[in-house]
Amino acid sequence: MTDSMQQMALDTLGAYFGYTSFRPGQDRMVDAILAGRDALGVMPTGAGKSICYQVPALMLPGITFVVSPLLSLMEDQTRALLAAGARPSYLNSSLTPAQQNTVLKRAREGRYQLMYVAPERLLEPRFLAFAQEAAAEGGIGVPLVAIDEAHCVSQWGQDFRPAYLQIREFIDSLPRRPIVAAFTATATERVRADIQQMLGLQNPATVVTGFDRKNLYFGCEEMGDKAKTAWVRDYVIAHSSESGIVYCSTRKT
């Protein structure tokens, strides 16, 4: 990627998100996408995966599709992007049919820079027709398809959201193939291979920053029931001004 494109990416990052530099791994993902390469990012929760596709989406002409399984995430990120001055949208089952029609009408008019969409929506005839029209010659353009929680194409993830297995069919149905970028928080080498094969990623730039969270630690102590109760009591008292969760093995406990 050229120096001018890198500067444009930094300018976009600053204008919409208020940051002066990318976090580790973000810059490599953004560089790859803007250079026209498929990409696979394995980055821990909180590392800023969304920036990796949002910055290119705000720079590239046309509409970027972000495939996400989480309705609340779609809505939260749409609100945050709106507040930042971007033009996002989302399309999922939380919208009435009339609202969905309005979103698609505005999208056809080129009003949106990116659209969050549930995987189950991709092959729905109305949405598929819109996406194919957008990606065709003379359409508004579909420069990028980003897939969040991409591990859902592999092993147990298919049981969680089997529609993830339709993503490649959706991409292959578009008249012009977009850049494809996949993201997940954790993935073994085997799962990364599954993601690449099942999404049809073409020679992707792969960024693995690990899953270590320096603000978290794990510990284990063996104790009896009375000691457990005393430990929880003392811990709650010591952290009385904070929020927390205590997991119990049974409802009675």
- Alpha-carbon distance of 236 to 232, in angstroms, equals 6
- Alpha-carbon distance of 39 to 37, in angstroms, equals 6
Domain with residues 3-208, CATH architecture:
3-Layer(aba) Sandwich (3.40)
- Alpha-carbon distance of 40 to 53, in angstroms, equals 11
pLDDT at 3: 79
pLDDT at 188: 86
- For the question of whether the overall pTM of this predicted structure is more than 0.75, the answer is yes
Query: 142-152: per-residue pLDDT in tens?
Result: 999 999 999 98
Residues of the chain with pLDDT under 50: none
116, 127, 131, 126: which is closest to 68 by C-alpha?
Answer: 116
Q: Are strands 88-91 and 114-117 parallel, antiparallel or unpaired?
A: parallel
Query: 111-129: per-residue pLDDT in tens?
Result: 999 999 999 999 999 999 9
Domain ranges of the chain: 3-208
Please report which helix (H) or strand (E) contains residue 132, including its range: helix 125-135
Query: 136-178: per-residue pLDDT in tens?
Result: 999 999 999 999 999 988 866 556 678 899 999 999 999 999 9
223 half-sphere exposure, CB direction, 13 A CA radius: 10
CB neighbourhood size of 8 (10 A):
15
